Structure 1
Amino acid sequence: MTLGRWSARHPVLIGMVFLFLVLLGYYGLRQLPLDMFPEIELPSLSVVVVYPGATSVDVEDRVTRPIEDVVTSIAGIEDVLSTSTDNIGAVTCVFQSGTDLDEAASDIREKLGLIRRKLPDNIDEPSILKFDVGAMPVVTLAVTTGVGDVDDWTETVRVEVVERLQHLPGVGSVTVTNPAPEEVRVDIDRTRLEQQGLSLSQVGMAIQAQNLSIPMGNLVLGGTDYGVRLPAEFASLDDLRELVVGASKTGGVVRLRDVARVSVGPAERQALSQFEGRPAQLIVVQKRSGANVVDVARQVQAEVERLNPKLPHGLHVSVVSDTSLFVRLMVRALTEAVLWGGVFVVGVVFLFLRRIRSSIVVALAIPSSMMVVFAVLHFAGQSLNIISLIGLSLAVGTVVDNAIVVLENIERHLQGGKSREEAASEGLREVAGAVVASTLTTVVVYLPLGLMLSGVIGPMAAQFASVMITAVTASLAVSLLLTPMLCALLLRGRAEERPPRGRLGRAIQRLHDASERALLAVEHAYGTAAGWSARHRWVVLLACAALVALTVRAVVFGGMNFLPVPDSGEVIVYGRLPVGASTARTAEVAREVERILREEAGADLQHAYWRAGRSEEGTGILTGQKEGTYIFETGGRLKPQAQRSGMSPDQLAARIRRRLDRIPDLVTYQVQTRNPMMAQVFGTTKPIAVEVSGRDLDRLREASAAVEKVVREVPGTTEVVAEGIDLRPELEVRMNRLRASLLGINTWMAGDALRTALHGSTKGVYRGAGIRAQEADIVVRLREEDRDSVADLEAFSVPSVTGAQVRLANVARVEESSVPVEITRKNRARRMLVTAYQQDRPLDEIAADIRARIAKLDLPDDVSVDLGGELEQQADVMGDLTLALLASVLLIYMVMAGQYGTLRDPLVVMFSVPFAFTGIFIGMDLLGRTISVISLLGLIMLMGIVVNNAIVLVDYINLMRREHGMTILEAVVVSGRRRLRPILMTMLACMFGMVPMVLAKGEGHEMWQELGTAMICGLSVSTFVTLFLVPVVYCLFHWPQLRRERKAAAQGGAAPDAPAGASS
C-alpha cells in the first residue's frame, strides 16, 4: 500500500496527530519568553582590579601585566586584551568557541591566587566577569529630586527603590551607577595637627583602635552560658569628635575635634549626570538569564508607578531606556510580516488553483508547520526573539512548497478521471522522491550555517538554522501525510464537479475557464521555449555567460558592508575635552550638547540625559567606554518611528555634527546612532578601527598620529579619533633616598602618609546616630585648603621611624611629568587605536584605501598596523560563511547523488545554484544597495530553494523517460509544461511570503528588509534561468543518447520535440 493511499484511508488518525501537534505548538507559543537575541555566551572572561590612587603606568606595571603573564598559559585562550587606566585595570581573556567558561574562570582564579602576593596590597579583590547577552540591562532608570541634591538621599534610594526592584520576579541585579553613599569625613587641619606634634597615621590608628566590637568568647554563670563582647564602636558623632588621638607636646590630651572637622555627607563623586535637566542617579536593572525581557520590563515599570507617589523628599523615578520597547516593536513588526506573508502566500496559491478547497489544503501547511516550530523552541528552552521571528517570516513562503507540488499533481490525476484515493496514491508516488530530495537539500543547506559559524554570529545562525530545518521538516510531514488526506477528503474530480448556479456562479466559472486557458497557453509556450532552448543550447549558454559577467562586475564594483544599521531611535554623543579638564567643566559642555540635541530634535525627542566624568567602578572600559573627568556622554531617545515627523537618528546626527564644531574645548567627538545593546553584542560600536601595536609608548604615539592623519584623508571616513595618545599631567614625588634614610624615613611610610593626605584613607565603619544609612565609611584626609597647591604638598610632614615629623621638601622634590591616560595591550604588546565611522562609501572600499595608504607610511620597525573593528569581524564572518557555502554546495550534491543513484543528474541541478549569486548581486546593485553579511546569509538560504525547482524539473524528466518511454526532448517539453505551474507557484509563494518583510517599516526593519530583498532578487533571477538552463544542461549531459534519439527520429520521419503525448 502506498503512503498516499494509506493517508487517504486514515483521515481521523492523521487529523488527530496534526491537531495534537498544533495544540502542542500553541502551548509552546504561550510559554515562550520574549527576548532580543537567543542566549549568547561570548567566549570571554574579564578580570577587573581596582587599584586606588594608581596611575595608568602603575596599573600596567603592577596589575595588568602580571595578570596577563599568568593567564596566557590557560588552555583555549586565543587573545589576551588589557586596559590600564587611573585606578583600574581590566584583562579580558578571549577563548576559542566551545570553551567551558566556568572551568576557565576556575583556572583564572587559581592563577590569580598564585600571584596574589606579587600584586599591590591595597588593591580591591579582583573580580571575574562574564559577558552574557541574556543578562544585559533591560531598563535604565533615573532618580531625581525636587528637594536638595539627589546625592543626599542615596540611602533612601537604596532602601525604597533598589531593594524593592531586586525582589521582582525575573530581575537579576539592580545597580546604582556612580552612587554617592554617605561617609563620615574627618578633615584634618594640618597646621593644628603639626602644632600638637601628631601625624596623620597616629590619628588614623587611634580611630581604628577605638572603633571596635570584639567578641571575647563565652562565660558560664549559674548554669547559664553568656556570650562576652566588648562593644566599643562609636555611638554618635560626638563620641568620634571626643576621641583621644594622642598627647600634645606639653603632655596634654589631644582630642579629634582639636585637629579635625568631623562631618557627614555624600562621598566625593567622580561623575555627574542629569536626566531631563535635573541631577540624577542612574539605576541599571538586569534580568536573569532566561527571563522574559518584556515581562521583566513591565514589572519594573509597574513597580516604578507604584513607588513614585510614595517616595519621600520629592524623589521621582523615570525610565531612561527600556530594551523591551525595542524588542516589542521589532517583534510586532515581524509578527505582522509573518501574518501578512501567510495571507500573500495563500493569495498566490488561490490565484493559481482558483479553488477554495485546494487553497485551504495548501494554506493548512502554514499553521501546521509553524506550530511544530513553536513546540520545538519551547521544549528546547529557546526564546522567541528577532532571529527566530526572521526565520519564521522566511519560512512562511517555503513551508507550502511541498504541499503545492503534491496537491498540484494529485489534482491533475483527479481531473484525469481517477478516484480520490487513486489520485492521492498515484499523485504522491510520482512526486514523493522529488519532495523528499528537495526537503533534504534544504535541510543540509542550513546544517553548515548552524554548525560552522563562530563568534557572536554563531548562536544566532544556529537558532535561525534550527527554525528553518524544523519548519521544512514539518512541511515534509504535512505534504506526505496531511496533504494527500485532505485532497482525498476535500477535492472533487471532474465527474463530481457541479455546474455553476446563478449569474455570479456562471461569471466565476467563465473567469476560471479564461484564467485556465491563459495558464495553459503559458505552459504550452514555455514547453515550446524549453524545447527550442534544448535545440539551441549555445544561445542559452551565451546568455547565461553574460549574466555571469554582469555578476562579476557587480561583485567587483558593488562594495560590501558588515551589517545594515537599524534605526534604533537613539542618538548618543561621546565627547572629549582637553585632558585634565574638571568634571564640572565637562558637565557644562555636556549640558550644551544636550541643548543642541533638544533644539535639533524638536518634538521628536522623547527624553535626553548626559553623564560627565568617570564611573566609580570603572567597568565601562570593558565595553570600550572611555573614563576620565574630561569625558562625557550625551544621549537622546526619539519617539517610535510611527510617532515621528520623519526624522531618522542619522539625519539628526548630521544636524548635530554641524553645530558641535563650534563648542569651545570640545577636542573630539563621535555621534553614535546604533542601539548600544546591539553594538555591544556585535562587539564594536565603531565600523573602522586601526590597531597600532608596539612596545615604546612614544613611538606608538607618533605612529598613531600618522595613521590618524591618513585615515582622515580617506574618502568615506568621518569622526576620526586617535585613542590612547592622550597624556595626563602628573606630579612626581622623587625621594632623596640618602637624606630620607638619615632622617629615618622610608618610601613606604612617606607614600602611605601622602596617599592618606591627598586621596584619603578609610579607617573603619561608623554605625552610630546621625547618618541615614545603616553604616558609613570613616574617611581621614587633609582638609581641602591644605592640599590645593604644590607648596602644600612640599610643606606636608611625613613621619620617621623615631616619631619625628619631617617636611617632604627636606627629603624629596616635586616634579611635573605626564602619563598616558590609558594604556591598552593585545597579546602582551601595547597598542593604540584609530577609530572612525563610515559615510556614503562601502566598508570594504574604505578598508582597501586605508591599507594602501598605510603601506606607504615610514613607520618604525617595531610598530605594526592591523585593521580591526567591524572590518576584522567582517573578515572573520566572511571566512566562516565561505566555508559554510562550500559545505552546503557539497552536501546538496551528495544528497542528490544518493537520491538519484548517479553523479550526473545532481550536476545538472547544481548548475542552477550560481544564478542565485547573479540575482542577489545584480539585483542589489540595480537597487543601489550594498551587499552585507545579511545578503550573503540569504544567498546560502537561497541555494536550498533554488535547487528544489531544478530537482522537480529533472525528476519529472526522468519519470517521463522511465515510465512513459519518452525521448529526452519529449520529456523536456512535457516536463516543462506540467511542472511550470508548481514551480511558479512555489517561487511566487516564497517571494510574496517575503514581500511584507521588504515593505515593513518600524524599529529594526533594515536588517530583515535587506535579507528579504536579497532573497527575492536571487529567487526571481535563478528561477527564470533554471527554467531554461536546466533543460539545456540536461541535454548536454545526456548528449550521446540525445544524438541517438535524433538519428532514430530522422530515420522515422517524426519530430523529436513534438510527441503525441506532449500535451499537458
Structure 2
Amino acid sequence: MLSRIFIDRPIFAWVIAIIIMLGGIGAIYTLPVEQFPDIAPPQVNIRATYPGANAQTLENSVAQVIEQQLTGIDGLLYFTTSSSSRGQVTIAATFSKGTDPDIAQVQVQNKVQQAISRLPQQVQQQGLTVTKSNPDFLLIAAIYDTTDKTTNQDVSDYLVSNLQDTIGRIKGVGDINVFGAQYAMRIWLDPNRLASFSLIPADVTTAIQAQNAEVAAGEIGGVPNTPEQVLNATVTSQSRLSTPEQFRNIVLKTQTDGSTVRLSDVGRIELGAESYAVTSRVNGHPGAGIAVSLAPGADALGTAELVKAEIERSSKAFPNGYAYSFPQDSTAFIKLSVEEVEKTLFEAIILVVIVMFVFLQNWRATLIPTIAVPVVLLGTFGVFALAGFSINTLTLFGLVLAIGLLVDDAIVVVENVERLLEENPEMSPRDATIQSMNEITVALIAIALVLSAVFLPMAFFGGSTGVIYRQFSITIVSAMVLSVVVALVLTPALTATLLKRKGDEKKDGWFARKTQRAKDWFNNGFDRTIDRYGHAVEKVIDRKWL
C-alpha cells in the first residue's frame, strides 16, 4: 500500500508537500497577471510612411505591393489594411491561435523585404517597421506643459527624442504609437517662382538629397605614402543640414550668367511640425501622448509597472513645467478584477473550514483537510507555470469552484478513520489509518478519475473558445489530481499523528468543553432533520403515485 510508506515516514510526506508548495510559490512570482487569458490570435503589424501621399495613392503604390507578397506564410488567417491622408499605411496580419508570434514576425519580415524594391523611393527612405503586439492599448501616457509656454510640437518632439525609444525597449512592450507631431524642416515652395526659374518640385527634392547627406571625405597622409610622410589627418566634411539657414543656402540651379538659384529664392523654409493634421492637448495644456501595446504573452501588470517606473525616472529630467499623466490605463481594471476574485477565493476557503468544523466538530479532524487546501492551491499554480497559463479571472474562478472539491478526499480519509476509531475504541490512530487506507485508496483514485472525465474533454476544444475552456478545465483537473495525491501522501500521515482515541478526546482543553453545548444543539437539530427527511422519503415510497 502506497500510503503505508508515508504513515511510517510522516517527515517524508511533509517534505513532498513542502516541495509542492515551494514550486507553487515560485510560480506565483513568475506567472503573468491579466484579466483574461490571451484568447486573441497573434497579430503582426506592418507600418509604412509615404510623405505627402493621400489614402488612394498609398493603397495603390504601397499597400497592394506588400499585400501581394503576403502569401505562403504559415498560420496566416487574414490581413487588414488601413490608409490615411497623413501618408501612413498599416497592414495588420492575423494568425491562427497557437502560432508562435516570433516565427510569424520573421516570416512577415522576410516577405516585406521582397517587396521593398518595388516601393516608391520615399517609402524606402522612411523605412518599414514590422512589429508584433496585441491590437488593444495597454495604457496611454501623456506629457504636457502646465505653464503653456511651449507648443504641442515642442512636447511631441521632446517625447519622441527622449522617451519613445526607451519605452519601446522595455520588456513586454510590443509596439508604441506616438500621438503628436515632432519637429521637421518645412519647405513651402512658391509655384510662380519655380516656374520663373524653369524648375519643378522634383528638382528641389534632388538638390536637397544631394546636398543634405553625410560624406566620407577620407584622410590626408594615409598609407601608402612616402617615407617623408610622418603625419596623417582625417578630413571631416559638413554633416547633414540642421538649421533653416543652411537649407536656405542649398543651390538648386546655376544660371547661364553664372548666378545661382538657391532654395530661399523659390520658397520659405522654417522649422515646423512634421504634420499639422493633429493638435494635441492634455487637460487644456499643450501636450502629446504615447500609446503602449502589449507583446503577445507578456505580463500586463508587470509591463505597465515597468513603463510607469521608466516615465517616473525620466520625469526628473523633464523641462520646467512638464508633467505626465495616464489618461488610459487598463491595468486598473485588471487589478480590480483579480483582487475581487482573490477576495472570493479567500472567503471560500474560510467558509469551507467553518463548514468542516461544524460537521466534524473536532479541531484536530478539521485541521487535516485545512492543511490540504494551501498544498493543493499552491501546487495548482505550479501546474499553471508548466502549462503556460497566467493568473487571470478564469483560472482563479476555477480555483474558487475547486475549493469545495479538493477537501473532499481529505474529509473521506478523516471520516473513515474517525468511524474506525468510533467502532474500535482500543484501536490506535495509526492502525485505524492503515486499515482506512486499505479500504478507500481505490475509491479515492476512482473519484479523481470520474471528476477528471467530466472536465478534461473541455481542454481539447479548439480556437479562441478552447483557450477559455482549457484554462478552466485544466485548473479543476489539476486541483483534483493534487487533492488525491495529498489524500494518499500527506493526509494519512496527519491522521496517524494528530487524531486521538475516542477515550483520550475527553481530555481535550477548555475549547472542547466550551463548545460542547453548541455541538449538542447542532447535533440534535441535525438528527431531527434527518428523521424528518427519512419519514418524508417513506411517505413518498408508500405513495408511489405521487
Distance 1:283 1:77, change over 3 A: closer
CA distance in 2 between counterparts of 1:120 and 1:159 reads 27
Match of 2:399 in 1: 392
Q: Report the CA distance between 1:51 and its aligned residue.
A: 4.4
Match of 2:152 in 1: 150
Match of 1:492 in 2: 500
CA distance in 1 between counterparts of 2:481 and 2:361 reads 27
Q: What SS does the aligned partner of 1:412 have? A: helix
Kept after mapping to 1: 8 A contact 2:144/2:322: yes
Kept after mapping to 2: 8 A contact 1:45/1:128: yes
CA distance in 2 between counterparts of 1:528 and 1:519 reads 14
Q: Report the CA distance between 1:519 and its aligned residue.
A: 3.1
Q: Report the CA distance between 1:274 and its aligned residue.
A: 2.6
> Aligned AA for 2:13?
I
Q: Report the CA distance between 1:143 and its aligned residue.
A: 1.0
Alignment of 1:621-770 (within 5 A): none
Distance 1:406 1:30, change over 3 A: same
Match of 2:486 in 1: 478
Greater Cα shift, 259-268 or 370-379: 370-379
Kept after mapping to 2: 8 A contact 1:210/1:232: no
Kept after mapping to 1: 8 A contact 2:138/2:331: yes
Kept after mapping to 2: 8 A contact 1:245/1:255: yes
Kept after mapping to 1: 8 A contact 2:365/2:414: yes
Please state if 1:424 is matched with 2:437: no
Match of 1:465 in 2: 473
Match of 2:251 in 1: 244
Alignment of 1:940-959 (within 5 A): none
Distance 1:448 1:271, change over 3 A: farther
Match of 2:261 in 1: 254
Please state if 1:348 is matched with 2:355: yes
Q: What SS does the aligned partner of 1:212 have? A: coil
Match of 2:21 in 1: 22
Residue 445 of structure 2, aligned match among 436, 440, 448 = 436
Q: Report the CA distance between 1:50 and its aligned residue.
A: 3.9
1:633-672, Cα deviation, whole Å (9 max, x unpaired): xxxxxxxxxxxxxxxxxxxxxxxxxxxxxxxxxxxxxxxx
1:731-756, Cα deviation, whole Å (9 max, x unpaired): xxxxxxxxxxxxxxxxxxxxxxxxxx
Kept after mapping to 1: 8 A contact 2:160/2:182: no
Kept after mapping to 2: 8 A contact 1:198/1:248: no
Q: What SS does the aligned partner of 2:132 have? A: strand
Q: TM-score, normalised to structure 2's length?
A: 0.83
> Aligned AA for 2:357?
F
CA distance in 1 between counterparts of 2:101 and 2:513 reads 71
Q: Report the CA distance between 1:12 and its aligned residue.
A: 2.5
CA distance in 2 between counterparts of 1:239 and 1:41 reads 50
Q: What SS does the aligned partner of 1:429 have? A: helix
> Aligned AA for 1:407?
V
Q: Report the CA distance between 1:346 and its aligned residue.
A: 0.5
Q: Report the CA distance between 1:397 and its aligned residue.
A: 2.1
Q: Report the CA distance between 1:398 and its aligned residue.
A: 1.9
Please state if 1:276 is matched with 2:278: no
1:977-1035, Cα deviation, whole Å (9 max, x unpaired): xxxxxxxxxxxxxxxxxxxxxxxxxxxxxxxxxxxxxxxxxxxxxxxxxxxxxxxxxxx
Kept after mapping to 2: 8 A contact 1:500/1:509: no
Distance 1:530 1:436, change over 3 A: farther
RMSD: 3.7
Match of 2:189 in 1: 188
Q: What SS does the aligned partner of 2:173 have? A: strand
Q: What SS does the aligned partner of 2:33 have? A: coil
Alignment of 1:131-280 (within 5 A): 131-132=133-134, 137-145=137-145, 146=147, 147-162=149-164, 165=167, 170=171, 172=173, 175=176, 177-216=178-217, 219-220=222-223, 221=225, 222=229, 230-231=237-238, 233-234=240-241, 236-247=243-254, 252-280=259-287
CA distance in 2 between counterparts of 1:453 and 1:303 reads 39
Match of 1:407 in 2: 414
By relative contact order (CA 8 Å, sep 6+), the higher-ranking structure is: 2
Match of 2:323 in 1: 316
Greater Cα shift, 513-522 or 395-404: 513-522
Match of 1:360 in 2: 367
Kept after mapping to 2: 8 A contact 1:162/1:174: no
Q: Report the CA distance between 1:144 and its aligned residue.
A: 0.9
Match of 2:462 in 1: 453
Alignment of 1:299-310 (within 5 A): 299-308=306-315, 310=317
Q: What SS does the aligned partner of 1:261 have? A: strand
Q: TM-score, normalised to structure 1's length?
A: 0.45
Q: Report the CA distance between 1:282 and its aligned residue.
A: 0.3
Match of 1:668 in 2: none
Distance 1:47 1:535, change over 3 A: farther
> Aligned AA for 1:478?
V
> Aligned AA for 1:341?
A
Distance 1:532 1:406, change over 3 A: farther
Kept after mapping to 2: 8 A contact 1:171/1:287: yes
> Aligned AA for 2:364?
R
> Aligned AA for 1:368?
V
Distance 1:405 1:537, change over 3 A: farther
Q: What SS does the aligned partner of 1:42 have? A: coil
CA distance in 2 between counterparts of 1:43 and 1:65 reads 22
Kept after mapping to 2: 8 A contact 1:139/1:284: yes
Q: Report the CA distance between 1:353 and its aligned residue.
A: 1.3
Q: What SS does the aligned partner of 2:150 have? A: coil
Distance 1:483 1:528, change over 3 A: farther
1:477-499, Cα deviation, whole Å (9 max, x unpaired): 11222222222222233333317
Kept after mapping to 1: 8 A contact 2:133/2:174: no
Kept after mapping to 1: 8 A contact 2:131/2:174: no
Distance 1:164 1:466, change over 3 A: same
Match of 1:10 in 2: 9
CA distance in 2 between counterparts of 1:501 and 1:184 reads 87
Kept after mapping to 1: 8 A contact 2:152/2:180: no
Kept after mapping to 2: 8 A contact 1:417/1:494: no
Kept after mapping to 2: 8 A contact 1:4/1:480: yes
Distance 1:116 1:312, change over 3 A: closer
> Aligned AA for 2:406?
V
> Aligned AA for 2:199?
L
Q: Report the CA distance between 1:369 and its aligned residue.
A: 0.6
Distance 1:296 1:447, change over 3 A: same
Alignment length (residue pairs): 533
Distance 1:206 1:182, change over 3 A: same
Match of 2:338 in 1: 331
Distance 1:423 1:336, change over 3 A: same
Distance 1:477 1:290, change over 3 A: same
Kept after mapping to 2: 8 A contact 1:38/1:385: yes
1:798-850, Cα deviation, whole Å (9 max, x unpaired): xxxxxxxxxxxxxxxxxxxxxxxxxxxxxxxxxxxxxxxxxxxxxxxxxxxxx
Amino-acid identity (%):
27
Greater Cα shift, 359-368 or 175-184: 175-184
Q: What SS does the aligned partner of 2:326 have? A: strand
Kept after mapping to 1: 8 A contact 2:369/2:491: yes
Distance 1:342 1:486, change over 3 A: same
CA distance in 2 between counterparts of 1:299 and 1:44 reads 23
CA distance in 2 between counterparts of 1:63 and 1:238 reads 34
Distance 1:250 1:188, change over 3 A: farther
CA distance in 1 between counterparts of 2:472 and 2:351 reads 23
Q: Report the CA distance between 1:324 and its aligned residue.
A: 2.9
Q: What SS does the aligned partner of 2:203 have? A: helix
CA distance in 1 between counterparts of 2:485 and 2:290 reads 51
Q: Report the CA distance between 1:318 and its aligned residue.
A: 1.6
